[in-house]
Amino acid sequence: MNIQDELQATIDALVQKGKGILAADESSPTIAKRFQAIGVESTEENRRTYRSLILATPDLGEFISGVILFEETLGQSTDDGVTLPELCVQQDIVPGIKVDKGKLALPNAPGDEISQGLDGLELRLKGYKQQGARFAKWRDVYHINKATPSLLAIQANAEVLARYAAICQAQGIVPIVEPEVLIDGDHSLTRCAEVSEAVFHEVFHALHRHHVVLEHMLLKPNMMVPGKLNPQTASPHEVAVQTVKILRRTVPAAVPSINFLSGGLTPEVATANLNVMNQLDPQPWELSFSYGRALQEPALQAWKGDAVNAQKTQAALYQRARLNGIARYGKYGEDMESNL
């Protein structure tokens, strides 16, 4: 199989009606915060136990087509000795890997950040592929305030995302491109939309410059929402209309799927927003999900580090995956939340 066929096969497996992607790629500091909230110490064994448990959720593959893993998880196994990437495959779920190395302050751009990890990426991807990964994810973030993001940050982050995507495709790995305009701050929905439009435009200009094949990548953007410190909230309809408007202005029809990040939204709000988007006029791309916390939070609350809660943990994850699968068709309703 040549590289283009390999990339297309992975896209076909990831982009399926009624399915989305589970982000289980929390960095060590992030998973430590999640565990601290439920009174669990973030040891390697506890992380392995939890991630093994959620990936083994019966029938998870009904609604989840791919899972983004952290580097540590890629090399871990279940109690029965099955590697976690192989456990995903058994569930008919494509294993993927987060490949950026976290963010740093961007020099000469106060308040802006840029992600690192391009050095040695080609070599790392070869190793990840041998371990079973078929797609990758790289996240760059954009802070909104009166001075940010600067033009420098918008251009520099776009360049990094495009270089990452090009390196991935050369290795037969499908890239998920994640430009996240952060929810932190008191900005309005309109300001979020304005910044997101500039960011997404620049990202696709850079992808074109680097000859990234748009049919063989996925976009993982933020939704258009007000900052979490803004007293004015936005309804799912307002979020959906603004989000689709900005995406139609910036994302070429060649991109097969847009898989939203939840970015600090509650599980219920993330599902409701996605649902309304899929009730609007048909779009040129699939509108799907790649949630981390908005899929896992109920499972973590059910688990609390206790093996006795294994079944409840898996039931909570399955329920959220199912509801988002329903939202992919625009058929979700709030009344479904209580129907475990």
Q: Could you confirm whether 228 is annotated as catalytic?
A: no
- 133-157 burial code (b ≥16 CB/10 A, e <16): bbbbbbbbbbbbeeebbbeebbebb
Q: Which two tokens stand for residue 94?
A: 């494509």
Write down the catalytic residue from 6, 159, 220, 297: 220
Asked if residue 69 lies in contact with residue 85, where contact means CB atoms within 8 angstroms, the answer is: yes
Cβ atoms of 280 and 241 closer than 8 Å: yes
Angstrom distance (rounded) from CA 10 to CA 13? 5
Q: Look up 178 and say whether it is catalytic.
A: yes
Which one-letter DSSP state was computed for residue 231?
S
Q: Residue 329 contacts by C-beta under 8 Å, 6 or more apart in sequence?
A: 17, 18, 278
Using CA atoms, how far residue 215 sits from 55, 124, 127, 253, in Å, is 28, 24, 24, 9
Q: How far is CA 160 from CA 121, 138, 203, in A?
A: 12, 9, 9
Catalytic residue among 178, 202, 286, 297: 178
Quote the tokens at residue 173. Answer: 């790995």
Q: In a 3-state reduction of DSSP, which class is residue 257?
A: strand
Q: Residue 203's closest CA among 132, 115, 82?
A: 115
Q: Which residues contact 119 (CB under 8 A, 6 or more apart)?
A: none
Cβ contacts of residue 92 below 8 Å, gap of 6+? 61
Query: Which residues are tagged catalytic?
Result: 178, 220
